[in-house]
Amino acid sequence: MRSPLSSFLHYSENSSRGILTRDQMEEKYKWNLADIYNSDSDWEADFKWVETNILRYKEFERKLSSDPELLLACLKFDDVLSSKVDRLYLYAMLAKDSDMRVTKYQGMDDRIKSLYAKASTASSFIKPELLSMDEQILMEMINENKHLRIYKHAIEDLLRTKNHTLTKELEEILALSGEIAQNPYNTFSIFTNADIKFPVIKDDEDNNVEMSHARYYAALYSKDRAYRERAFKAYLIPYKSYVNTFSVLFNGNLKTNIFYANARKYKSAREASLNKNNIPLSVYDNLIDAAGKNLAPMYRWAEMKKKILGISELHPYDVYVTLFEDADNKKYPYDESTKIVLNSLQAMGSDYLNSLKTAFENRWIDVYETQAKKSGAYSSGTTFGVHPYVLLNWTDLLNDVFTLTHEMGHNMHSYYTGLTQPYTYANYSIFLAEVASTFNESLLLDFLISKSDSKAEKLYLLEKYLNNITSTFYRQVMFAEFEMQAYDRTEKGEALTQDVLSKMYKEIYQKYWGPAMVVDEEEEFTWARVPHFYYNFYVYQYATGFAASQVLANLVKNNGKEYIEKYLNFLKAGSSDYPINILKKAGVDMNSPEPVLAVTKKMNEILDEMELLLNQ
């Protein structure tokens, strides 16, 4: 069993507004769940089938090594049952998210999660039994049976982890500790989201407002610099006040992951985390090294920001404020925006464009906000035998157009993977997930800039491009370097007190923004508020994905039709090979500095164009 929870991609929060009810919304703007099940009763029938057939796993237990045909039957049965669970989960989730007040779908969502847990428990014997077999005999069974050969890469990947898999008894103990291991993050999450009280300050209209997470992010875009500074300092006061508590939680998380890495005989927590997808440590090292040697565009952007803002010092609360407004305040209706996305992706060829049109024209997308619909945006990922879906909450803003092309990048990745791969490989790792989405965004930005007919609009778009690079690439590399240093120092026996953590974060922040930046004392405590530091070497993948997408976008723009087939093969690969190999076949070597250099080159080109426009 693989978790259906891992398939759903790119969720982001928006504020909710009560508007039309579900029934009042035109059908063409609502996703068509009949493509999954014609009715709730059909869902119930499949649910009953899974519930009944879970017992069949017992037929295979302790017998997998006896007969290749029995092994094949077990793996095929697991595929069938797992794909039904995925399908059940998709329908229940989308139905629930359509209107979160409907208790029926809340109940269905809860039921399928419980059923997944039962199926996962029933099938949990498969991997240990395969690992307990003589490796040579197992591979002979696979190589001599053409139907078993489909599973060869999956089993080789399993065997790759054999040295890090413990005895059944020890694995059970580690499994039992799983819930306890979540305590550092769970405590951090409840503390930062529910218990912390922020001070009251004057906003940019002289109103008294209590600072909050949402108000903080909104304030950083305000043109009122004094308000930005007040919001920045007020927001970080609680993290400074409770820094010893956050230090204990942060260290608890580090030591938890180090414990699991040591228990499984890895050399480090970083090796343990990257090994899940067979990512060499050199990829992580190369990312930080290459980015660190190519910070000149960041320094240039910081100096330019300072100049445009007319300030003598750049502070952390100045980095997000919008320098150029969309002077025309354009609106982007959804139907027109689908045409913009299609036009921006013309280089992708007819096959990709026709697949995209199919999604637009056949209700794969839930477009507008309706009462009690889930906020934000996501792509449902690959569900075998069913096309992927996208949730939006459209407001006619340019950001919605970017969200659409981003999510359709995920959608097409999932669609081609599901269309091409057998169930075993009809998914893809997080390491690859953000490549196709940011690839689409890059082509959209290039298209919009080329079509912009005013200086103001072009500057606005160029700034958006630079902010994408800053936040999606450089900021994530900065976080990755901080995380690496924190683990390295802990594994060497150093004590990471709050003073050490704050000093380390300040030095890294200064490194990435350069001499133009004055790092306020409050910024030193930012490490305490970042939830991604509890995700165990996760953030670097945002940066690698973004960098890889820049190389792929350049290959498409420079080679056209000659390269499209390679890119489509990347979308079709799923998990049929290791992520590093899949990218390499597509033309990206993540062990080289080339992807980072592609980002820095693009950033310099945008800065050149911006300077040219400003000097006109």
What is the model's pLDDT at position 214? 84
What is the model's pLDDT at position 180? 87
Is 407 one of the annotated active-site residues of the chain? yes
475 in the same domain as 556: yes
333 in the same domain as 321: no
What is the model's pLDDT at position 13? 39
520 in the same domain as 371: no
599 in the same domain as 481: yes
For the chain, the average pLDDT equals 93
Say if residues 511 and 466 touch (Cβ distance below 8 Å): no
What residue numbers bound the domain in which 577 lies?
A: 281-325+454-616
d(CA 481, CA 537): 10
Tokens of 404: 């659409």
What is the model's pLDDT at position 329? 73
What is the model's pLDDT at position 19? 74
Least trusted range by pLDDT, from 17-31, 84-98, 195-209, 420-434? 17-31
Average pLDDT over residues 195-209: 94
What is the model's pLDDT at position 453? 85
Q: Count structural domains, the chain.
A: 3
What is the model's pLDDT at position 24? 94
d(CA 611, CA 455): 12
Q: Is residue 334 over pLDDT 80?
A: yes
Give the CATH number, domain containing residue 115: 1.20.140.70
483 in the same domain as 432: no
Q: Is residue 574 over pLDDT 80?
A: yes
Out of 26, 303, 313, 407, the active site residue is: 407
Domain boundary among 165, 192, 223: 165
511-564 pLDDT, tens digit each: 999 999 999 999 999 999 999 999 999 999 999 999 999 999 999 999 988 899
Could you tell me the pTM of the whole model? 0.90
Helix (H), strand (E), coil (C) string for 509-546: HHHHHCCCECCCHHHHHHHHHCHHHHCCCCCHHHHHHH
21 in the same domain as 59: no
589 in the same domain as 488: yes
Give the CATH number, domain containing residue 517: 1.10.1370.20
**% pLDDT > 90, the chain:** 86
Confidence of residue 8 (pLDDT cuts 50, 70, 90): very low
Tokens of 354: 């026709």
550 in the same domain as 409: no
Tokens of 80: 């069938």
495 in the same domain as 357: no
Q: How many CA atoms lie within 13 A of 247 on its CB side?
A: 18
What is the model's pLDDT at position 167? 81
Average pLDDT over residues 99-127: 92
Could you tell me if residue 105 is inside a domain?
yes
What is the model's pLDDT at position 18? 47
Average pLDDT over residues 160-177: 85
420-471 pLDDT, tens digit each: 999 999 999 999 999 999 999 999 999 999 999 889 999 999 999 999 999 9
Q: Is residue 406 over pLDDT 70?
A: yes
